[in-house]
């Protein structure tokens, strides 16, 4: 199966990747030539642009200029220490979901008072660890969790600051696996039950109610679901405060989408301008605001460089077999997600063939891109784009594949922020039978 297609303009094939551009000798991130990085560090390797992360953050900062607002980076998107340092140094707090993430924030020098702890299944040891660390707020997701947290805090002679995650029941219009604000999903407490649960929280001696939060889903590309969720949350703030329980902060979660493939989410500053207009109109403009963006801060700042191992023509499909796989880039296998795939050093003059780009893992689900027109030969390098979020942080060792190396680019500098895992690293901690 062979087709020849006109070559695509590079601006069309670099969706949303602000610090990536082709120069005469191939693809650059900031002022670093990616082919040279791949030669030096091997493939697969993730490469992130510090400038792209800070530019994404700046859009939120512009949106909140003059407001009392805290941006808590949802570190599940990419929890590598070097990435956390970039955000900690820029004044961000962190949204964590485990004791492990808490230790990462500590290792990266983050400010514990700016940490919020989300998740439906916090364990008692995690609650204790977070209270000892002095985090800013627990985002509680059920009534049962309130009782347990109060008990843990009282036993430590502490008071736990809490916000309750309410489920606004709005449709974020995204993939069902990453939609979280609808009835029938495990997150948050029902809108109808929220007031009674706030009363319960206020009655518990180990807790101090400080806020309210929501998060409706991920990769959201429209403003409407946010506007609807804000209305629902503000209705609750009104009734909770009328019941004599003051709400210091409102946390609107994360979820803003990025451009993977002709997606056009609103820019963070434009979105927040619109949302703040509503907040002001309803009289809550002076409240402390929090947000928990993950993907929109890092997604388009990263690429995964990979090498073409073999080209395998087939009767129905041609396969381009690369050295990155579903263990490195799990999103296509898990969500049928699209990541653009482009050459690191484009070839000129040869014909283009349509391939399924697949990895070496022994699963038919191990595909990275389907039906991609590429001009490639074995040994060429490709860049998988928009790989800054939910790739390395979701990577596994399946097929005993060590996880990839990671590099942070800053201008002309390239810092190795994670060494490639060796096979021995992957079975460290395992014990042989006597």
What are residue 70's phi and psi, to 5 degrees?
-125, 125
344's tokens: 């690191």
Nearest to ligand LLP of 355, 390 (CB atom): 390
3-state SS track over 298-332: HHHHEEEEEEEEEEECCCCCCEEEECCCCCCCCHH
Beta carbon of residue 132, minimum distance to ligand LLP (angstroms, whole number): 22
Q: For residues 178 and 342, which CB has a smaller minimum distance to ligand LLP in the complex?
A: 178
In the complex, least distance from residue 380 CB atom to ligand LLP, rounded to whole angstroms: 27
- In the region spanning residues 78 to 137, those forming contacts with ligand LLP, defined by CB under 6 A, are 95, 118
CB-count exposure of residue 339 (10 Å: 0-12, 13-18, 19+): buried
Q: Strand 353-358 and strand 249-251: pairing?
A: unpaired
Q: Which stretch binds ligand LLP (CB under 6 A): 21-29, 198-206, 232-240, 252-260?
A: 252-260
Among 166, 178, 333, 374, binds ligand LLP (CB under 6 A): 178
What is the footprint of ligand LLP within residues 306-365 (CB under 6 A)?
331, 335
Which listed residue (15, 99, 181, 253) binds ligand LLP by CB under 6 A? 253
Distance separating alpha carbons of residues 367 and 365, to the nearest angstrom: 6
Q: Name the token pair of 100.
A: 């492990």
294 binds ligand LLP (CB under 6 A): yes
Q: Is the dihedral of CA 87, 91, 92, 94 positive or negative?
A: positive
Task: Point out which span in 239-247, 293-301, 351-359, 379-387 binds ligand LLP (CB under 6 A).
Answer: 293-301
What DSSP line would sit under 359-403, residue for residue? -SSSSTT-EEEEEEEE---TT-EEEE-S-SSSSGGG---GGGPPP
Applying the rule CB under 6 A, the residues between 205 and 244 that interact with ligand LLP are 215, 218-219
Strands 381-384 and 405-410: unpaired
Q: How far apart are CA 135 and CA 66, in angstroms?
A: 25
Q: Shortest gap between Cβ of 197 and ligand LLP (angstroms)?
A: 17
Window contacting ligand LLP (CB under 6 A); options: 52-60, 128-136, 233-241, 250-258: 250-258
The mark string for 376-395 relative to ligand LLP (x by CB under 6 A, - otherwise) is --------------x-----
220, 358, 359, 365, 372 from 1: Cα distances, Å? 37, 17, 20, 21, 13
Does 141 engage in binding with ligand LLP (CB under 6 A)?
Answer: no
Q: Is 293 in the site for ligand LLP (CB under 6 A)?
A: yes
- Nearer Cβ to ligand LLP, position 266 or 294? 294
User: If DSSP codes are grouped into helix, strand and coil, which group holds residue 220?
Assistant: strand
Binding segment for ligand LLP among 30-38, 61-69, 143-151, 249-257 (CB under 6 A)?
Answer: 249-257
Max CA distance (Å), the chain:
73
Catalytic (active site) residue 362 = yes
163 binds ligand LLP (CB under 6 A): no
By DSSP bridging, strand 160-167 and strand 189-190 are parallel
Where would I find the H helices in 156-223? 194-203
Q: Which of 50, 104, 295, 401 touches ligand LLP by CB under 6 A? A: 295
Q: Applying CB under 6 A, which residues contact ligand LLP?
A: 74, 77, 95, 118, 178, 215, 218-219, 253-256, 292-296, 331, 335, 390
Please give the positions annotated as active site: 362
């Amino acid at each position: 199966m062979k087709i020849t297609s006109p070559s695509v303009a590079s601006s069309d094939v670099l969706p949303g990747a602000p610090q990536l551009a082709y120069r005469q000798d191939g693809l650059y991130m900031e002022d670093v030539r990616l082919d040279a990085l791949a030669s030096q560090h091997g493939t697969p390797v993730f490469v992130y642009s510090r400038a792209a992360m800070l530019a994404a953050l700046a859009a939120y900062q512009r949106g909140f200029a003059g407001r009392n607002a805290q941006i808590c980076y949802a570190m599940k998107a990419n929890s590598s220490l070097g990435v956390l340092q970039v955000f900690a140094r820029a004044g961000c707090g962190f949204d964590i979901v485990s004791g492990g993430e808490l230790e990462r924030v500590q290792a990266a020098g983050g400010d514990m008072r700016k940490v919020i702890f989300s998740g439906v299944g916090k364990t008692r040891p995690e609650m204790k660890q977070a209270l000892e660390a002095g985090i800013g707020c627990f985002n509680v997701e059920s009534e049962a969790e309130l009782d347990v947290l109060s008990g843990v805090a009282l036993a430590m002679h502490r008071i736990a600051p809490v916000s309750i995650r309410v489920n606004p029941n709005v449709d974020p219009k995204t993939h069902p696996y990453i939609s979280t604000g609808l009835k029938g999903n495990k997150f948050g407490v029902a809108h109808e039950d929220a007031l009674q649960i706030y009363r319960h929280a206020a009655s518990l001696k180990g807790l101090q109610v400080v806020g309210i939060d929501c998060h409706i889903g991920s990769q959201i590309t429209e403003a409407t679901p946010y506007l609807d969720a804000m209305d629902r949350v503000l209705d609750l703030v009104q009734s909770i405060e009328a019941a004599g329980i003051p709400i210091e902060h409102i946390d609107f979660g994360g979820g803003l989408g990025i451009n993977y493939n002709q997606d056009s989410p609103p820019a963070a500053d434009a979105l927040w301008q619109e949302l703040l207009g509503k907040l002001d109109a309803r009289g809550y403009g002076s409240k402390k605001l929090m947000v928990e963006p993950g993907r929109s801060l890092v997604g388009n700042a990263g690429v995964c460089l990979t090498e073409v191992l073999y080209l395998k023509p087939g009767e129905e499909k041609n396969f381009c077999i690369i050295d990155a796989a579903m263990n490195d880039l799990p999103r296509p296998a898990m969500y049928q997600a699209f990541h653009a795939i482009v050459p690191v050093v484009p070839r000129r003059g040869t014909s283009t063939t349509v391939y399924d780009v697949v990895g070496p893992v022994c699963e038919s689900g191990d595909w990275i891109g389907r039906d991609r027109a590429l001009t490639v030969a074995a040994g060429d390098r490709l860049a998988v784009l928009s790989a800054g979020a939910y790739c390395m942080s979701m990577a596994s060792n399946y097929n005993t594949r060590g996880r990839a190396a990671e590099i942070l680019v800053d201008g002309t500098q390239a810092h190795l922020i994670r060494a490639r895992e060796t096979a021995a690293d992957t079975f460290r901690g395992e014990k042989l039978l006597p």
